[in-house]
Amino acid sequence: MTVIISGTGLYTPKEFITNEELVQSFNQFVINFNEENKDQIDSGAVDALVPSSTEFIKKASGIEQRYVQDKEGILDVTRMRPKLKERSNSEVSILAEMAIKAAEEAMKQSDIDSSDIDAVICGCSNLQRAYPAIAIEVQQELGISGYAYDMNVACSSATFSIQNAYNDIQSGIAKRVLVVNPEICSGHLNFKDRDAHFIFGDAATAVILEKDSNSQFAFTILGTSLKTQFSNNIRNNFGFLNLPENSDPNSPDKLFIQKGRSVFKEVVPMVQAHIASHLDNLDIDIKEVKRLWLHQANLNMNLLIAKKLLGRDPDEQEMPIILNDYANTSSAGSIIAFHQTKGDFLSNEIGVISSFGAGYSVGSVVLQKI
C-alpha cells in the first residue's frame, strides 16, 4: 500500500535572539560571576568562567540566531531561562497550541479538515507533563476522532513518528494521520554553559500522512528506516523521580548536557552508514537523490555527513540549511528544512529526510515527488 506525505506545516515564534544579543547577555553573566567569586577563583577553589563570542558560535555550529517563545527571560542575566506563564488546566497548553498552529498549515496544504484525520501522534524531545498526552489535547482542540499518543526519541522524534504513522496506515487502523513536533528547546538549555548556550531554538512542525492525495505538495514514502544505539554522550536527567531521589533540581544534568566532540565523532559515521544502507536496500543510487533534509543541529556535522554520502562537498540545493536562522529545534529541524525547500521538486524526484541525536538514534524517510 502506498503512503503519502500530503502536507506539512510550521509554527515559528515571533521573538528571536541574535548571536550578538546572546553573547552580550552571557558575557555579562560571566563578568558578574567572576567578580562575585573573585576570592575563590584566586585561591583556585573555583574556575573562572570564560566569555563567549559570535565568532566562536558561528565557527562551532553555523548558527546565527534562534527563535524563542520568550526572549526577555533568556537575556535577563539574573534569570537566563525563558519566562513562561503557567497555564491552568482549563487552558490549552503551550505545546498543544504550537502544534495546532503548525497542523492548521499542514491541513491547508493537504486540502483536508480535521474531520478527515483518524489519529494524532506527538513526537518531541521534551513533553511538558507526564499526562494527559499532548497529542490527545491536540486531538480534542481540533475535533479529531480516533486515537492519539505522545512519543519521545529526542531529536529523531519526527522520523520515528512518521514511521509509526506509516505503519498505522499500512496496517489499516488509520487512513490519515497527523504528526506534530512541538519543541521548546530553550526550556531545557543551560544558558550559563558556554559550550551549549547558543545551540537551541523553539519551533513546531506538522506532517500529514495518508493513503492517497491530490495535494500539489504530495510525496510518496518509498521507505523508512530506524536505528538506535545507547549512549550517555547526550543526556537530560530531568524527570519525575528527581523529587523522591532528593536530587538537586538546579543541577546542570537536569538540563541538556553533551560531550560534543564524542557525539560528532560517533554520530557522523553512524548516520552516513544508515542513510547509505537505506538507499541501497531500496536500490536507489545516491546520484538519484536530489536533496538531503538532515537534522539541523550543526553545520559542520551535516557538511561531513553529506560529503561522505556524495563523495564530494554538497551544494546548498542538495543539503539545505535552516539552522542558521532556527538553531537546533530538535525533532522539528529536518521537517522545517523539508517544509521550506520541497516546493521545487518535479515529479519522480527523490529526497531523504534524516534525523539523528540523543539515544543515539537515527531515522530516515525516503520520499519521491508524485
Give the residue among 182, 222, 195, 223 at the shortest CA–CA distance from 57.
195
Output DSSP code: residue 328: B
Counting Cα atoms < 13 Å in the Cβ hemisphere of 27 gives: 11
Tell me how far apart the alpha carbons of residues 140 and 367 are, in angstroms, rounded to a whole number.
Answer: 30
Query: What letters, b where the CB count within 10 A reaches 16 and e where it falls short, cover 197-236?
Result: bbbbbbbbbbbbbbeebebebbbbbbebbbbeeebebbeb
Helix axis angle for 134-142 and 94-110, nearest 10°, is: 50
Marked catalytic residue, from 122, 124, 155, 185:
155
Tell me how far apart the alpha carbons of residues 48 and 337 are, in angstroms, rounded to a whole number.
Answer: 39
Contact 167, 225 (CB under 8 A): no
- In the block, cell 531545557 appears at 188
Tell me how far apart the alpha carbons of residues 303 and 307 are, in angstroms, rounded to a whole number.
Answer: 6
Contact 176, 208 (CB under 8 A): yes
Tell me if residue 185 is catalytic.
Answer: no
3 state DSSP class of 219: strand
Query: What letters, b where the CB count within 10 A reaches 16 and e where it falls short, cover 273-292?
Result: ebbeebbeeeebeeeebbbb
Give the residue among 47, 144, 35, 153 at the shortest CA–CA distance from 99.
144
Task: Indicate which residues carry an active-site annotation.
Answer: 155
